[in-house]
Amino acid sequence: MITKGTCRRILLCSASTLLVSAMAVAQYAPGGAGQQQQPNMPNQQPVTPSTGTTGPDSSLANQQAIADQAFVRKALEGGAVEVQLGQLAQQKSQSEDVKQFGQKMVEDHTQLAEQMKPIAQQLGVKEPKGLSKKDKQLIAKLEGLSGPQFDEAYIQAMVKDHKEDLKEFKDEAQSALNQNVKLTAQQGAGVISQHLQMIQQIAQNHNVATEGKSKTSASVQ
């Protein structure tokens, strides 16, 4: 026979079971507190993956690699001109200091070229087969001069050349991507700086004006 106490316990257990079931249903119902989906944020912008800086960096690296090649090519061409002009100075100048400077040009620029050649090969830069049209014209004009006229034209050309070369070598020493190019540019800048100081002193000794003179105008004076 079921007593009143037993009935009361049965009713309490049934009520508890119904309450637990109701909470479970509410938890997984749409909009419930325990919903597994993330709520939508009205002001939240979609997150896009970052592309990084690979593209721009790669482009800049390629541009600098091309600049390194151009520098090496121009340095080889310029060195070849300095050697030929130095040889010409030894032959045609009547001044001992100009002759000595010409000899130093041959020695130093030959050495710089020897340092640059393996780097050029590494970068795929071909050695110049000859002088440019402009350089050939300069040499031809200097060959037509002699005595003080030759000295003046040669000194002016050397001052102008070495100012331009020094700037280019310093710039490349700062920006070069290839470490061998950077090191050679640094060493070359030191050598060219010495050359510039030497030829500027020679210009003073010979009373040669060097400001505002171009190669062409200097060579025809």
Lowest mean pLDDT, pick from 44-48, 77-81, 121-125, 205-209: 44-48
Dihedral (Cα; 90, 91, 92, 94), 10-degree rounding:
60
Residue 37 pLDDT exceeds 60: no
Give the three-class secondary structure for 127.
coil
Q: What percent of the chain has pLDDT over 90?
A: 63
Query: How many other CB atoms sit within 10 Å of the CB of residue 214?
Result: 10
Structural domains of the chain, with CATH: 64-219 (1.20.1260.10)
Distance from C-alpha of 50 to C-alpha of 172, rounded to nearest angstrom: 33
Distance from C-alpha of 145 to C-alpha of 154, rounded to nearest angstrom: 10
The per-residue pLDDT for range 38-60, each reduced to its tens digit, is: 444 344 444 333 333 445 567 88
Q: Tokens representing 204?
A: 């003073």
The per-residue pLDDT for range 142-162, each reduced to its tens digit, is: 999 999 999 999 999 999 999
What phi and psi values does residue 172 have, to the nearest 5 degrees? -70, -35
Query: How many other CB atoms sit within 10 Å of the CB of residue 185?
Result: 25
pLDDT of residue 217: 39
Residue 141 pLDDT exceeds 80: yes
Residue 16 pLDDT exceeds 90: no
pLDDT of residue 186: 97
Residue 188 pLDDT exceeds 90: yes
